């Protein structure tokens, strides 16, 4: 069998990367050598691969800087409305290849590096992932930044520059072990420190009401140092900014200790301040009410709002004199999007600045705040909702607590006037939850303080309106919207699957890169035999390449002719990795000499939150099932179960193009949207899934018959909740399910520790909120239909082509266009900014 083409070889054949001009190649080579010369220290003449990577990164960055400066000039001169996307997570992954793609530099760099006797792919692999996110929410923010730049919006991403990102996951004896992700240890060539914009952030202290207004005094100050990362749009010369804040202690931090003579202790205590940006909290869909987390949330909000107001007051490039003093026009020039409730403190903080600092009238300040802020809800799971203890606010943010109380009183007075005597409604709608521990419901704060509230898929937005925020929707129905998530086609098609991008471009041109809806034109080629062969060939090459990667990195040998059946996501009970486990066990139990399995390779990747016991047990179960199945000579290479450790953006870019089947099997009504489902769809995997999240709209776009849809719908789940879910009924009536559970329970998959999985079995039998057994029979039957279709490669590939053709809706460009027009009140621009070597006008 021929070895798969490397991406480098494939890129040389690819038109969508742009043809490398001789001048471009020569310029890249010259710049690379210059940077390499300055990278090497005097006493070291031999360059390492990392030296080569940094030289190339700086070469590519040179092409960004002129465009970056010009973009900011363009914004300052035209003074457009600016969009501020606030998120505690930006899961960026690697930057080098994405930047080359968006600047149209990839072929020039490829050729230049080749001429220098180096391999571009090897250099790309040296870059650390910027893992400043847990999963979907952080990756969505990264896709949105790419789309906002590509659409020419004056947009900024604001977050925290975590010193340690999402932990590195190791699997030791089948168990997850966490290691710190020291992603900055070799430096980050893409960021630029901006100490001139350092900003003070206040904590603790007390509030004083004086005739001159309210003063928040005796506070502890932490400095926020901004680090800017350029975010290039696709071939439009727009380069926006992601500004991440790092915590620094001021020189007079703990001055009292200093003055008492304990110099060493005072210096060491600086760490207390700087710990704010030390580490990303590794929880996904789970609220952990720690003071440090609340400090992080206020830190990013306080620094960002001061920065936004500074920029609002200055209108001309290079001018930092305050020229605007009236805040009447603030919502016309500023839109703040809150990515979930983590930046919810923007609402009381903006009120504090307007009322206490800028002396704006309270009612006017509230009107400005509401017109400026908008809130995206990302989850309906109750354990994920942020509910901070009032006592913590009282100590850490006393002025904000006063403001929240006042806002809540205004809000409840309004509700009481509309619904007189309805005390229960007031309790349900209050921002303050009464009880043993009084808490602040941050989602309620976001809803009352925003002019728009959106869910992230149609089914999710309906649940938000009809269940999660039902009372609020009845009060202000016009406030609620849907914005179905999307993914950037630059990273998730052009970059990660160049072979597929090329054969698509040959058929329909390159317009799909910035207008993914053009993929609909592929419907004309569903019965084109040459195109069917090309799509199948690209998929097989991707599988060969990934099989070689698995063998090299994980020492696992797999059959590339087998079906690559993939479930990649955070480990969580609602995502039902356990249902997938039960399918693998059922297949294994069905083995017989006459059974011809289509060569299934179920693969699971994902992290468990370090404190989430059940998620860690699920990982141990997956690895234990793999241990038994993969070493059974009777099964051979017909069935393998593999858990890939340390799943991250750069690994997703390898896995997704190679997948045949995408598992999207959450209980209906629990997954807000999902974006992995979209990445698999556009890369030519078929979907097996429930009618949950964006799966519903994917089925609508491609036709339900072109996905493998199974299981309960939302209304079925609700009916079962009313009736009561009894797992034992399913266990006793389904022999194959009973056999699988008994094997897990008896220690068949854990012979050295037979009771290892008692907690998993106990949860499934008696405490399963996500009803795994209820969907088991339908899932197994649906998997049988998958196996049957996979035996017919032509029919399978026709369905693949239809799915790719119907995936255009799921571009983040479409999502951001909807946000821009319907929430932010701005219009995307298709006009490119002139490049730095041409006059601006």
786-to-5, 605, 661, 684, 795 alpha-carbon distances in Å: 29, 21, 9, 15, 12
Structure tokens at 247: 């915590």
Burial bucket for residue 612 (CB in 10 Å: 0-12, 13-18, 19+)? buried
Cα–Cα distance measured from residue 694 to residue 187, given in angstroms and rounded to the nearest whole number: 38
Active site residue 679: yes
Contact 85, 144 (CB under 8 A): yes
247: nearest Cα among 229, 223, 230 = 223
Q: How far is CA 472 from CA 401, 414, 481, in A?
A: 22, 12, 13
Q: How far apart are CA 666 and CA 578, in angstroms?
A: 10
Distance (Å, whole) CA 814 – CA 810: 7
Strands across the sheet containing 661-664: 642-644, 600-605, 563-568, 661-664, 686-689, 708-709
Annotated catalytic residue, options 61, 572, 679, 798: 679
Q: CA angle 445-446-451, nearest 5°?
A: 125
Distance between CA 423 and CA 412 in Å, rounded?
10
Q: Which residue out of 570, 616, 799, 809 is catalytically annotated? A: 570
570 is catalytic: yes
Q: In 3-state terms, what secondary structure has residue 89?
A: coil
Coil, helix or strand for 684?
A: coil
In the block, residue with structure tokens 């030390």: 278
Q: Which of 239, 245, 63, 246 is nearest to 155 (CA)?
A: 239
10 Å CB burial of residue 679 (0-12, 13-18, 19+) is buried
DSSP states of 423-487? HHHHHHH-SEEPSSS-EEEHHHHHHHT-SEEEESSHHHHHHIIIIITHHHHHH-GGGEEE----B
| Dist CA 57 CA 180 (whole Å) | 25
Q: Which of 378, 483, 490, 583 is catalytic?
A: 378
DSSP state of 279: B
Structure tokens at 447: 């809803």
Six-digit token string for 656: 């997704």
Task: Based on the residue annotation, tell me whether 42 is a catalytic residue of this protein.
Answer: no
> By C-alpha distance, which of 837, 838, 823, 830 is closest to 374?
823
Q: Which of 352, 569, 607, 799 is catalytic?
A: 569
Residues 71, 99, 229, 675: which is the catalytic one?
A: 675
What is the helix (H) or strand (E) element at residue 530, kind and residue range? helix 529-554
If phi over 0 gives left and psi between -120 and 50 gives alpha, with beta otherwise, what is residue 349?
A: alpha
CA torsion through residues 173, 176, 180, 186, sign: positive
Among residues 400, 389, 359, which one has the least CA distance to residue 201?
A: 400
**Would you tell me how many other CB atoms lie within 10 Å of the CB of residue 548?**
13
The length of the chain is 841
> Which residue is catalytic, options 352, 575, 638, 802?
575
Angstrom distance (rounded) from CA 792 to CA 770: 34
- Could you give the residue numbers annotated as active site? 378, 569-570, 575, 675, 679
């Amino acid at each position: 069998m021929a070895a798969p083409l490397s991406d480098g070889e494939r890129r040389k054949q690819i038109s969508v990367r742009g043809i490398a001009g001789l001048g471009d190649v020569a310029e890249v080579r010259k710049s690379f050598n210059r940077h390499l010369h300055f990278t090497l220290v005097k006493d070291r003449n031999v360059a390492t691969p990392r030296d080569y990577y940094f030289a190339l990164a700086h070469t590519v960055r040179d092409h960004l800087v002129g465009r970056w400066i010009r973009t900011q000039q363009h914004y300052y001169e035209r003074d457009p409305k600016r969009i501020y996307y606030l998120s505690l997570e930006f899961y960026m992954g690697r930057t080098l290849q994405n930047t080359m793609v968006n600047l149209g530099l990839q072929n020039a760099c490829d050729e230049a590096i080749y001429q220098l006797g180096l391999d571009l792919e090897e250099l790309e692999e040296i870059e650390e992932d910027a893992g400043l996110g847990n999963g979907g929410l952080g990756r969505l923010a990264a896709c949105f930044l790419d789309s906002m730049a590509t659409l020419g919006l004056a947009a900024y991403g604001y977050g925290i520059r975590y010193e340690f990102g999402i932990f590195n996951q190791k699997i030791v004896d089948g168990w997850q072990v966490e290691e710190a992700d020291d992603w900055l240890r070799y430096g980050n060539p893409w960021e630029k420190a901006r100490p001139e914009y350092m900003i003070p952030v206040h904590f603790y202290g007390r509030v004083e009401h004086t005739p001159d207004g309210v003063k928040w005094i005796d506070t502890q100050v932490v400095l926020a140092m901004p680090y800017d990362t350029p975010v290039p749009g696709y071939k439009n010369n727009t380069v926006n900014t992601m500004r991440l804040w790092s915590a620094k202690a001021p020189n007079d931090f703990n001055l009292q200790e200093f003055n008492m003579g304990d110099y060493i202790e005072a210096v060491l205590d600086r760490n207390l301040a700087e710990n704010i940006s030390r580490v990303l909290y590794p929880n996904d869909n789970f609220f952990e009410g720690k003071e440090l987390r609340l400090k992080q949330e206020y830190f990013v909000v306080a620094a960002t709002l001061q920065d936004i107001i500074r920029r609002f007051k200055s209108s001309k490039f290079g001018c930092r004199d305050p020229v605007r003093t009236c805040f009447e026009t603030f919502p016309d020039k500023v839109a703040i999007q809150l990515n979930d409730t983590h930046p919810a403190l923007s609402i009381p903080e903006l009120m504090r600045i307007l009322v206490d600092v800028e002396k704006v009238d309270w009612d006017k300040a509230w009107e400005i705040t509401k017109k400026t802020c908008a809130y995206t809800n990302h989850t309906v799971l109750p354990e994920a909702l942020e509910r901070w203890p009032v006592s913590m606010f009282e100590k850490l943010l006393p002025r904000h607590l006063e403001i929240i109380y006042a806002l809540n009183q205004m809000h409840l007075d309004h509700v009481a006037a509309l619904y007189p005597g309805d005390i229960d409604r007031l309790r349900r709608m209050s921002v303050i939850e009464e009880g043993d521990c009084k808490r602040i419901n941050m989602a309620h704060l976001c809803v009352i303080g925003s002019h728009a509230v959106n869910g992230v898929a149609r089914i999710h937005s309906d649940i938000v309106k009809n269940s999660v925020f039902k009372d609020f929707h009845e009060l202000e129905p016009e406030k609620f919207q849907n914005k179905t998530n999307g993914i950037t086609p630059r990273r998730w098609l052009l970059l990660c699957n160049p072979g597929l991008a090329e054969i698509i471009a040959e058929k329909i041109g390159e317009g799909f890169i910035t207008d993914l809806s053009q993929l609909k034109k592929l419907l004309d080629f569903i019965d084109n035999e040459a195109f069917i062969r090309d799509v199948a060939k690209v998929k097989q090459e991707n599988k060969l390449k990934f099989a070689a990667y698995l063998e090299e990195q994980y020492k696992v040998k797999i059959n590339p002719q087998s079906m690559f059946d993939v479930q990649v996501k955070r480990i969580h009970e609602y995502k039902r990795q356990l249902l997938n486990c039960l399918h693998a066990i059922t297949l294994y139990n069905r083995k017989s000499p006459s059974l011809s399995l289509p060569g299934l390779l179920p693969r699971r990747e994902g992290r468990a939150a370090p404190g989430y016991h059940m998620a860690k047990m699920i990982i141990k179960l997956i690895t234990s099932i793999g241990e038994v199945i993969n070493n059974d000579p009777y099964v051979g290479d017909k069935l393998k179960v593999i858990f890939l450790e340390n799943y991250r953006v750069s690994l997703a870019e390898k896995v997704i193009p190679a997948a045949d089947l995408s598992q999207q099997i959450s209980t209906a009504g629990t997954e807000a949207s999902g974006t992995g489902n979209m990445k698999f769809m556009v890369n030519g995997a078929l979907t097996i899934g429930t009618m949950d999240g964006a799966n519903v709209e994917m089925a609508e776009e491609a036709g339900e018959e072109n996905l493998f849809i199974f299981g309960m719908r939302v209304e079925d789940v609700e009916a079962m909740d009313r009736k009561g879910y009894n797992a034992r009924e399913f266990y006793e009536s389904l022999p194959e399910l009973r056999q699988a559970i008994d094997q897990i329970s008896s220690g068949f998959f854990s012979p050295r520790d037979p009771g290892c999985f008692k907690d998993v079995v106990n949860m499934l039998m008696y405490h399963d909120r996500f009803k795994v057994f209820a969907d088991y029979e339908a899932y197994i039957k649906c998997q049988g239909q998958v196996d049957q279709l996979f035996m017919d490669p032509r029919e399978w590939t026709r369905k693949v082509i239809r799915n790719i053709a119907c995936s255009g809706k799921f571009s983040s460009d479409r999502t951001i266009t909807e946000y821009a027009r319907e929430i932010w009140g701005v219009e995307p621009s298709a006009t490119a900014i002139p490049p730095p070597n041409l006059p601006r006008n």
